[in-house]
Amino acid sequence: MDCDHAEVLAPWAKGIDLMPGYVLDGAGRVDLPRRPLAVTVDAPGVSVEVWAFGPDGTGAGQVLNPRPGLMILPRVDSETVVMARPSSGAGGFPQGTVLHVTIGVDSERDPDPERAELTPIDVSGLHGVELATIAPVGDRLEVTARKTAVDVPLSDLAARARSAARGLLRVDRLPEMRRLLVEVDIDTTISMLPRIEDRSIRAVVDIVAGIATVVGARDSVQVNLIGGAVTTPPSGELRDLADRVQAELDVAGLGVGFRSAAIDRSSRVVETLVVTVTDAVPADRVRDGGAGSAVRPHLVLLAPRSAGAAAEVGATVVAPPEAGGDLVPALLADADELSRVVESLLAEVAALQDSEGVLR
């Protein structure tokens, strides 16, 4: 068995002539015999449908699905892409869904046929995922893993925001040419002290971190603290972004007279999503980036929820927790509310994707 970027698994026991298996990491590939193949997809607690299509996007012929999570390819005569989606056909995979995929020779007589195993794939929020490509090469079948990007580690809230963003946009990450820079402007004037103390700002930053892994051009988010002056803490890993921002807020000198346009982005040429976090509509609020601008401003109001106010200002309204509460566990316990916030933050991005035929 020829392989590239594959790790050989040792036989189960010494003294027994068993075929080795191979783990395909990233875009690894391996050659299997040109024989019928069985594709098995296991996700504890989740029913999965497996199917295949050809290079022209149409369904592959002679495909058998004896049960959820199993597909048999009696023969492969042209390049075939193997995919998986929730069996229900509605919505995306639940948060925390990890697929375990095996592609091997379908043989009842062989107790341990040649096989390739993909590294476990986290598909939380996705409506479907491409698993592997199978193509005939001479008398062999070349199996190539399709999942080449490794998910950035995130906190629980950011991970769930990432899943919600994937479910909304129906991709694990936007194509490179469509990605945006992501920045967060935080009001650090005196009125925001309660929102610093109850960690509401931290929760919003965590949500933005999760969104950035789906739409961001970089694996980082620039944060600007705007009070008496503008302070930009160093960027770091998205997993720790919310904690680092909270630490900066805890020692920040609070100013007066918040200005949402304190940072001049008029010459920005890279598409940029700017999320401004405050507790009231700024007097100098920028509703759009202006004609030809690459800036996409979005306002997050940490204030009692009011559907009318949200519609009036076109903002995302996030209600702070009750006295002594914490917004993070509240959002983790309320998937609908978290989805509402993510959908509001990404409404313009989703509309653009849909108008260009990216969403189906």
Q: In what order do the strands lie in the sheet with 181-187?
A: 230-231, 222-226, 181-187, 272-278, 295-302, 316-318
Q: Is the pLDDT of residue 111 over 60?
A: yes
Q: Is the pLDDT of residue 60 over 70?
A: no
pLDDT at 18: 36
- Distance separating alpha carbons of residues 327 and 239, to the nearest angstrom: 18
For residues 13 and 236, the model is more confident at 236
Exposure string over 8-42, b if 16+ CB within 10 A, otherwise e:
eeeeeeeeeeebebbbbeeebbbbbbbbebbbbbe
Confidence of residue 151 (pLDDT cuts 50, 70, 90): confident
Q: Enumerate the domain spans of the chain.
A: 3-145, 156-355
Architecture of domain 156-355: 3-Layer(aba) Sandwich (3.40)
- Distance separating alpha carbons of residues 83 and 77, to the nearest angstrom: 18
pLDDT at 115: 85
Per-residue pLDDT reduced to its tens digit, 202-219: 999 999 999 999 999 988
What percent of the chain shows pLDDT beyond 90? 36
Under 8 Å between Cβ of 241 and 262: no
Averaged over 129-135, what is the pLDDT?
Answer: 89
- The mean pLDDT value of the chain amounts to 82
Q: Is the pLDDT of residue 7 over 50?
A: no
If you count them, how many residues does the chain have? 360
All residues at 6 or more sequence positions from 234 whose CB lies less than 8 Å from its CB, including other chains = none
Confidence of residue 306 (pLDDT cuts 50, 70, 90): low
Q: Is the pLDDT of residue 26 over 80?
A: no
DSSP state of 176: G
Distance of CA 272 to the CA centre of its chain: 18
